Every structure is written in structure tokens, then in C-alpha cells.
Structure 1
Amino acid sequence: MARAETPLNTPISDITFTVFDTETTGFAVGRHDRLIEIGAVHVKGNRVLETETFHMHVNPERSIPPEITELTGISMETIEHAPNSLEAIEAYLHYNEKANSTIWVGHYVSFDLLVIKKELQRHQYRIDMPTTIDTLDLIGYISPSKHMLDLEIYASQFGTRIYNRHEALGDALTTAHLFCELLYHLENRGKRTFADLLAISDMSKRNIQF
């Protein structure tokens, strides 16, 4: 996938964002834990396009721990006939390409990017990783006193909708509505262009190794 560059002076309202989330067998995705679900939804014009969602379970080709099944509702039966991670990621990329969306948004997005990158590496596949926006950075800019990481807490504090937690699509939808509220606050502070958004959510400032 070739990475398309969005002009820095592009109004935020003109950009189609992909808000996404992943579920995994655990947090050690750089080693043995694997992807089991991807969910995503597009945002444009400060509006969540709920009719344009993406959701897919993924066969991790390993067992799912009981505590993960309890948390996510995803069992071995759920993923028995699901595609492998490469097939699922390719479908997700196609979903983005159809909407001409090259900017991904997530809540603690560095983890979800790591999941995608490690799964592609396992299949000896590589893509140019997209520009990303982390809602945690936007929250830190708007309300610097907030230190919790929990998505549901933030959604409650900003008065946005909360969907099924620890389900990839549910968390993506929750994040998308939170993201729209954050964009509204940014607009009120005069932050209206892609350059403004990048200055607030800059992955290069974070010491994260992928």
C-alpha cells in the first residue's frame, strides 16, 4: 500500500479518518500473542459514518486464553472458520482504500499499530504504515490534568456514546464518537487543519519501538 500524503493545509472537516481497534490473545504481541479481531468506522466532517463499518474476527492459529474469552466474548469456536491475520488485514486495507482514507485514529493507537505490523511481519509482508492520530494526545492537549487511560472513563467525561467494551467494533465506535467531540473542542481553540492535528498528535514524539 503506497502511503498518500495529505496536504498540511487540508481542513480537518475534509479528511476521511479511519478509527480502528484490535483485540488480541494478550499484550505480548511482539512475541506470542496474536490478533483475533479488527473493527473500524470512518469519520468525516466531524461525523461518525456508522453505516460504513468494518468488522472481522481473525484466526490466531493458537489457543485463546480463558480470560480473553471472558473479556471479549471471543472463543475458539468464534474463530474456527475465521480468516488468518493477513487475509483480515488485507480486507481492512481494502476498506480504507475504498473510502480513500489514509489516516488512522485509535485510543492508545501505538498498540494497535504494533499488532498490525507484527502480524504482517509473520507473513513476511510489509506496508508503508499510515499517519496516525492518538485520542490520548488530543485529550492531553485539551485537558492536561487527565491521566487515566481507560476509554470508557474518557467517553463518560466528555459525554460521548459508549458501545460494547472490549469488542473491536464497539471500542472503535466509542473512540470515533470521542474523537468527534475532541475535534469539536479543538475547533473551538482554532485548530482546524491537518497540520494543527499533527502538531498535537505526533507519533515521532513517543519513544515506541515497532
Structure 2
Amino acid sequence: MPKETKLKPASGATLLIAIAAVAVDTETTGPDATKARVVQIGAIGIAHGKVVRETQLDLLIDPSEAIPSEASLVHGITDADVDGAGSFPDAWAQFQEFVGDRILVGHSIGFDLAVLERECRRARLPWKKPRALCVRLLATIANPNLADYSLETIAGWLRLGIEGRHSALGDAIAAGDIFATLIPELRKRNIRTLGEAEVACLALSDALEAGHRAGWAEPVSRPQAPAFQPVDPYAYRHRVGSLMSSPPVVVKSTEPTRQVIDLMVKRKISSVLVSECGTPDQAIEAYGIVTERDLLRRISSDAERAFDMPVGTLQRDR
């Protein structure tokens, strides 16, 4: 399985187009989140605002009980299909490894989170609610005038096709495509970052309450109020030079932006110097500088090409 570029864990300030995410869906033995058992998990990666179809997960799970015929009519999975399939703990381990610390994305993901938590509790596996976004809620924000917010209706509005409807992987791919296509629609409503998206979703109180009544988990995380902290005097007791890397990190102006982002993440730095030769031994006039903010602005304004553009096109002269 190809590995994706490793990025820093997302914060509330991370642009939606820059988050590393996984679109997920589950198929179950029924629609009641308080009773349903998971029979299939589908997941697919999202990076740089696009679904990465080369990295996907499709797992059948033996629920250790008969699958009702009415559920099989929906997703097509029968007792014979899961005969010999792995148990939930086996699938959960694979899913956790696949997801890592990425954000989860799904349609009505509160249902999926609820059934996954219940399965973990049943198997006595540790559970920590992952950070997540619901494309159903995001679509409600982006277009409050849709007749309904089913997967089909949202996909139709965005002119997206759905293949493999009611299979876990098919619905996960559809949710991922919807999320990627919603990013510019949300930007029109001044929702650009993960934190802004979470706050906007949490304002949809009617939709959240309906999910609570159905036994679903809350689909997004609530921002934590920052605790009061005294001012750290460190900055006032040290010279600027002691806080900088030495020698300075310099890259060639022809270096692709994607590689520069990887370097900054690896070195845990927020800016790089840029020059034609990429060495730190030139006169100061030979250098420009590229910061995290420069990168985020370029990604926001030109996501289609930003990662492959030479970093020299972003630099500010010094």
C-alpha cells in the first residue's frame, strides 16, 4: 500500500484543504446504533483536498450473530459472506493502523462512531473518540436549501457519481469525494479551517439533537476552552539567535513546494530561506524566505497546482 506524505496532526487552525483525513463508512446488522453490530468497514485516504484511491481499506467482519434479512437487502452482505471473516478486534487493529492520527470524515458519521464505540466496549478494547467531520452537516452549511441531505442528494447537487452504494467502501469513497468538493463551497461561507468547520457544525443544534435521540455519537469535537496560564518569561531571557537553527535551513528556489513542506515538518520549523543555489554561504541579498503562512495562502488560493510549484514562486525577498 503506498504511503502518503506524513503531515503534522491537524489543529483547529489547519486549513480544510490541508488536513490529512480518512473517509469511513460501516455496514451493520441494523439501523439502531444502540444494538447494531458491524459487518463491514470501508475507509479511504484524503490528502491535499483529494481522495487518494490508492490507499483504501475494505474489511468484512463476522458479527457472531445472524444478519437480519432486511439488513442484507440493503447492503447485500449475508451470513455466508462473513463466514470465516475476522472478528471485530482483528478489523479494529487494521483500521487503527490505517487511520493513524488522521481526521475521520463520513456521512452521518455520528452513527458510525456510535457503533464502533459500542463494538470496542463489547470487546473490551480501549476507545478514544477520534476527531471527525460529518459531510451531511457540512453540506447543510454549504447549501441550506437542499430538499434533503442524503448521500445521493448531496452528490447530485455537487455533480458527483456514487459507485457501490450501500457498500462500506463505496459509501466511504462517496463521502470523501463530497468532502473534497465541499471545501470550495465552504470557503464561500468563510469556513476555511478545521476549527471553523467544527464550530459551524456544532451550531446546527436541531440536527445534533436528532442524532442524540437516535443514539448517535456527537459527530464533531467541541473546542476546549483554553486554561489560564502565566506568561512564560523564556522569551524575555534569551536572544533570538538561541532560538534559531544553525546553520539556517536553505532550499533551492526550484524545489517543489511539496518537498519543502515535508522538510519543514521533519525539521519542525516554520520557515525556510530560499536561494538559487540552496546553500547558506551567500550574501544576504541572495535569499528570500517562505513561511508556513505563505504556504497556506498558496494552497488556499491555488490548491490544484500549489504542491507541485517551485517554492521560489512563494518567496518574499529580504
Q: TM-score, normalised by structure 1?
A: 0.89
Deviates more, 1:65-74 or 1:79-88: 65-74
Which residue in the other structure is 1:182 paired with?
Answer: 182
Q: Secondary structure at the match of 2:44?
A: strand
Q: Secondary structure at the match of 1:201?
A: helix
Matched, 1:150 2:153: no
Matched, 1:20 2:32: no
Which residue in the other structure is 2:34 paired with?
Answer: 30
Correspondence for 1:92 among 75, 95, 109: 95
Which residue in the other structure is 1:124 paired with?
Answer: 124
Deviation at 1:204, TM superposition (A): 9.7
Structure 1 contact 21–172 (Cα < 8 Å) conserved: yes
Q: Which amino acid aligns with 1:73?
A: G
How many residue pairs align between the two structures?
203
Q: Which amino acid aligns with 2:43?
A: A
Please give the per-residue CA displacement for 1:158-206, whole angstroms capped at 9, x wherever unaligned: 1112111110000011111111111121123432222222222339953
Which residue in the other structure is 1:77 paired with?
Answer: 80
Which residue in the other structure is 2:107 paired with?
Answer: 107
Q: Secondary structure at the match of 1:81?
A: coil
Largest Rg, 1 or 2:
2
Structure 1 contact 29–115 (Cα < 8 Å) conserved: yes
Structure 2 contact 139–149 (Cα < 8 Å) conserved: no
Deviates more, 1:78-87 or 1:199-208: 199-208
In structure 1, the gaps of 5 or more residues are: none
> What CA RMSD, in Å, does the superposition of the two structures yield over aligned residues?
2.0
**What is the CA–CA distance in structure 2 between the aligned matches of 1:153 and 1:8, rounded to whole Å?**
29
Q: Which amino acid aligns with 2:104?
A: W
Structure 2 contact 160–178 (Cα < 8 Å) conserved: yes
Please give the per-residue CA displacement for 1:43-70, whole angstroms capped at 9, x wherever unaligned: 1211110111111001010001122222
Structure 2 contact 17–48 (Cα < 8 Å) conserved: yes
**What is the CA–CA distance in structure 2 between the aligned matches of 1:20 and 1:12, rounded to whole Å?**
17
Deviation at 1:13, TM superposition (A): 2.2
Which residue in the other structure is 2:229 paired with?
Answer: none
Please give the per-residue CA displacement for 1:141-164, whole angstroms capped at 9, x wherever unaligned: 111122523211210121112111
**What is the CA–CA distance in structure 1 between the aligned matches of 2:137 and 2:69, rounded to whole Å?**
33
**What is the CA–CA distance in structure 2 between the aligned matches of 1:8 and 1:200, rounded to whole Å?**
12
**What is the CA–CA distance in structure 2 between the aligned matches of 1:5 and 1:40, rounded to whole Å?**
19
Higher relative contact order (CA closer than 8 Å, sequence separation 6+): 1
Deviation at 1:28, TM superposition (A): 2.5
Residue 121 to residue 147, structure 1, CA distance change in 2 (3 Å): farther
Q: Which amino acid aligns with 1:163?
A: E
Deviation at 1:130, TM superposition (A): 0.8
**What is the CA–CA distance in structure 2 between the aligned matches of 1:24 and 1:137, rounded to whole Å?**
22
Deviation at 1:74, TM superposition (A): 0.9
**What is the CA–CA distance in structure 1 between the aligned matches of 2:195 and 2:32, rounded to whole Å?**
33
Report % sequence identity: 25
Residue 149 to residue 6, structure 1, CA distance change in 2 (3 Å): same
In structure 2, the gaps of 5 or more residues are: 1-7, 218-318
**What is the CA–CA distance in structure 2 between the aligned matches of 1:13 and 1:150, rounded to whole Å?**
23
Please give the per-residue CA displacement for 1:19-53, whole angstroms capped at 9, x wherever unaligned: 1000001022313x310000011112111101111
**What is the CA–CA distance in structure 2 between the aligned matches of 1:181 and 1:204, rounded to whole Å?**
21
Please give the per-residue CA displacement for 1:72-111, whole angstroms capped at 9, x wherever unaligned: 12111110111111211221111011xx41x111111110
Q: Which amino acid aligns with 1:10?
A: T
Q: Secondary structure at the match of 2:183?
A: helix
